[in-house]
Structure 1
Amino acid sequence: MYRDTDLRDVDWGAMPYREIQATGSQDGSVAVVPVGSVEQHGTHMPVATDSILVEAVTCEGAQRVSDDLPVVVTPTEWVGSSPHHMSFGGTITGSFETLLDLLEEIGECVIDNGFDAIIFVNGHGGNRSLVDSTPRILGPEYPQTDVRACTYFDLPDSEYINEIRESDHGGMAHAGEFETAMMLYLYPELVDESSMAGTMRDVDMFGDGSNTTGYADFADLSETGAAGDPASATASAGEKFFAEASERLAELLLETHERNSENDVL
């Protein structure tokens, strides 16, 4: 992230502190906090996949609207809630309470720099309830700040995704076609195409059932740690998935800016 000079204008971690404060002081300013995880992603992808993808989508989304609004992207919070992946190894997880406290404190620091709005953008299914809780905690404490939360793979139009996908329903679960395709597009050198094996399930990231809750050790769901059909993924589809997610986030950023301009916080 820091080496990409094209992102210099939206990268909190690459800015001097005065620049961050100057951005935060502008009318309708928005800070984006990507939240990922470090957990197993099958035998074919790196454990930081969720953090890599949510950072890429948030940076691209912010860059698309950087000429239209004051926006920055903080460094990615990379520890997620991933106890269900521990049996495979390579996973670093935190307790729900610890992570919620961390997100609250990150939000408070962002608010202290004067931003009118914060959007926590989640990149890991296991973080949904965690990240969704941030507006309910920070909102009452800081009513002058518009605090929002979303999961980036909930933003794309599911009908559009279904037009592009090659896998059947169930093929876009954890480390399945969707995530694998985007990694093939963004970081093909990190994907082992000789080991793209997964277990099909009856739910995936798009469609009925994707938001049901429950707990199961992932070793009981997949022998390899991947759920879905990663072998159907292509870089060309990944480019379209990435563009769709980034554009939908860009629209959310612009909407949030307009909502909070001239101190019009709802």
Structure 2
Amino acid sequence: MTHLTTQLDETVSFGAQSANSITAIGERDGSVLVIPVGSIEQHGEHLPVMTDTLLANSVATVGAKRIADEIPVLVTPPVRPGYSPHHLSFGGTLTSEFETLLDFIRDTADSALSNGFDALVLINGHGGNTPLIDAAVSEIGHEHTEAEILGATYFELVADLVEEVRDSEKGGMAHGGEFETSLMLYLYPELVDTDAMPATYWEEQYDLGGDDLISGGPLSVYRPFDEYSDSGAIGDPNVADEKTGKQLFEGSAEAIAALLKEVHEQNAD
């Protein structure tokens, strides 16, 4: 499936539409605007630094396309960089200050919602952005009471599927591990260096801390990534494969499609 999701989609990509077309879609009943939010940060030695942005944009675009015949929906270009100061020690990372990125997302939402959309959904692809997405939903929602504002981290939508298809043990689906590497092998295999995939299973010191991509604990802990891994990757990329990536991608796109359809139904008169 190489590169199929890197191009602008003529049906749902905001950037592929004329201004008149965007306004016409936004003014339709129950219209939904999707903003993918990614990051530019190190992903070990085997994955590109735009992994989170590529994946968030891909699942959001394909998910929206699957229900575009049923509901008025558009997907903006992805927001990046993200909030990634904990990755800086490895190099290759572009990060924003928390407040700066929050303001940028708010500004983007302000201008986007002026096109008449009834709902806005932030689709996040980076775990470090999660608190920021929560804050953005609250801030934008407070400022735009006329619209429904929501946010979701796409890989949290497929937690049950992850447990069904994974080959790694707990701790193997983390940053640059089986989950993201499998998706990249399916979508962008030419960007994956399968000859250099060192990684360390995620082992949090606190029992209440997170220990996998989809099993974050109730305790928030800050550590720079070089305290978790010598390579910058946490998990088990060596068991990743294209088949698992396809299953995870299809599941993620379907979950987003279902979410967007529900948002439309909740906001249509």
CA contact (8 A) 2:175 2:233 kept: yes
Q: Distance in 2 between matches of 1:230 and 1:164?
A: 14
Residue 78 of structure 1: aligned partner: 80
Change (3 A) 1:215 1:106: same
Q: Distance in 2 between matches of 1:44 and 1:32?
A: 29
Q: Distance in 2 between matches of 1:16 and 1:153?
A: 31
1:207 aligns with 2:215: yes
1:147 to 149, 160, 180: 149
TM-score of the two chains, using structure 2 as the length reference: 0.93
**Deviation beyond 3 Å, 4+ runs, structure 1:** 1-5
TM-score of the two chains, using structure 1 as the length reference: 0.94
Residue 198 of structure 1: aligned partner: 199
Counterpart secondary structure, 2:151: strand
Q: Distance in 2 between matches of 1:89 and 1:252?
A: 36
Residue 50 of structure 1: aligned partner: 52
Change (3 A) 1:216 1:104: same
Unaligned runs of 5+ in 2: 204-210
Deviations 1:206-239 (A, max 9, x none): 2353x64221110111000000001110000000
Residue 40 of structure 1: aligned partner: 42
Shift of 1:160: 2.4
Q: Distance in 1 between matches of 2:83 and 2:223?
A: 13
Change (3 A) 1:92 1:245: same
Residue 15 of structure 2: aligned partner: 13
Q: Distance in 1 between matches of 2:64 and 2:223?
A: 35
Shift of 1:34: 0.2
* RMSD, aligned α-carbons: 1.4
Counterpart secondary structure, 1:193: coil
CA contact (8 A) 1:2 1:14 kept: no
Shift of 1:159: 2.9
Q: How many residues align?
A: 259
1:178 aligns with 2:185: no
Shift of 1:3: 7.0
CA contact (8 A) 2:6 2:58 kept: no
Deviations 1:73-122 (A, max 9, x none): 00000110000000111100000000000010011011111100000111
Percent identity for Structure 1 against Structure 2: 45
Unaligned runs of 5+ in 1: none
Residue 30 of structure 2: aligned partner: 28
For residues 103-252 of structure 1, what are the structure 2 equivalents within 5 Å?
Answer: 103-156=105-158, 158-202=159-203, 203-207=211-215, 209=217, 212-252=219-259
Q: Distance in 2 between matches of 1:29 and 1:69?
A: 7
